[in-house]
Copies of this chain bind each other. A is one copy, B any other.
Amino acid sequence: MKLLEDRIRNEGIALSDQILKVDGFINHQVDPFLMKEIGDEIGRHFDEKNITKVVTIESSGISPALMAAMYLNVPMIILKKQASKVLNEDVCQTNVTSFTKGTSYELTLSKKYVTKEDNVLIVDDFMANGEAAFGAVRLLEMVDAKIQGVAILIEKSFQPGRERMDKLGIEVFSLARIAKMEKGNITFGKADE
């Protein structure tokens, strides 16, 4: 998506070969019009898949997921990050460790909101190792929902998340794919269409 690539090129900051800061328009300050365009783009791509729920992971994925859900005319579900296990049979949980941030949490879904009748689209801001997205996949498998795809704003293609998701046979739709980074320099790969 040219609009997003341009914003990353102009406002993103490659702090190292691993860390990209997009605090100015995605993570900390959010441009609602960019999110609307992104949500529409994702929605158009998955329009024929009979999506019934858009699922995201708190909190940076919420803005684009909300806009995609609006386009697709379905509810959005926010998977919650809990510090510890909840002992409650109404929820599913799975442990997620973020290598990037060095943190670990229990990703949580109430069984009330996604069931085996659902066709789910996962939306998140970044995919690097794919830990968060795989956590979402595990939760959705626990409730036997059908996973129709994963939409990602920024894929770090030099990390293994995408490849691992491909191996599961789950479509990844990335609006911007970063092939390589070094401090102060970002090289894009071909985005999905």
Contact = CB atoms under 8 A, between A and B. Distances in A.
Interface of A: 23-24, 27-33, 35-36, 58-59, 62-63, 66-67, 69-70, 75-78, 80, 110, 112-113
Given A33-B70, A36-B70, A70-B33, A28 B110 contact: yes
12 contacts: A27-B78, A29-B77, A29-B113, A30-B76, A30-B78, A32-B66, A32-B67, A33-B70, A36-B70, A59-B78, A66-B66, A66-B67
Contacts of A77: 28-30
A36 B24 CA distance: 23
Nearest to A110: B28
A156 B174 CA distance: 41
A110 B33 contact: no
Nearest to A70: B32
Given A32-B66, A32-B76, A59-B62, 11 more contacts: A23-B110, A23-B113, A24-B112, A27-B78, A30-B69, A30-B75, A32-B67, A32-B69, A58-B59, A62-B63, A62-B66
Contacts of A66: 30, 32, 35, 62-63, 66-67
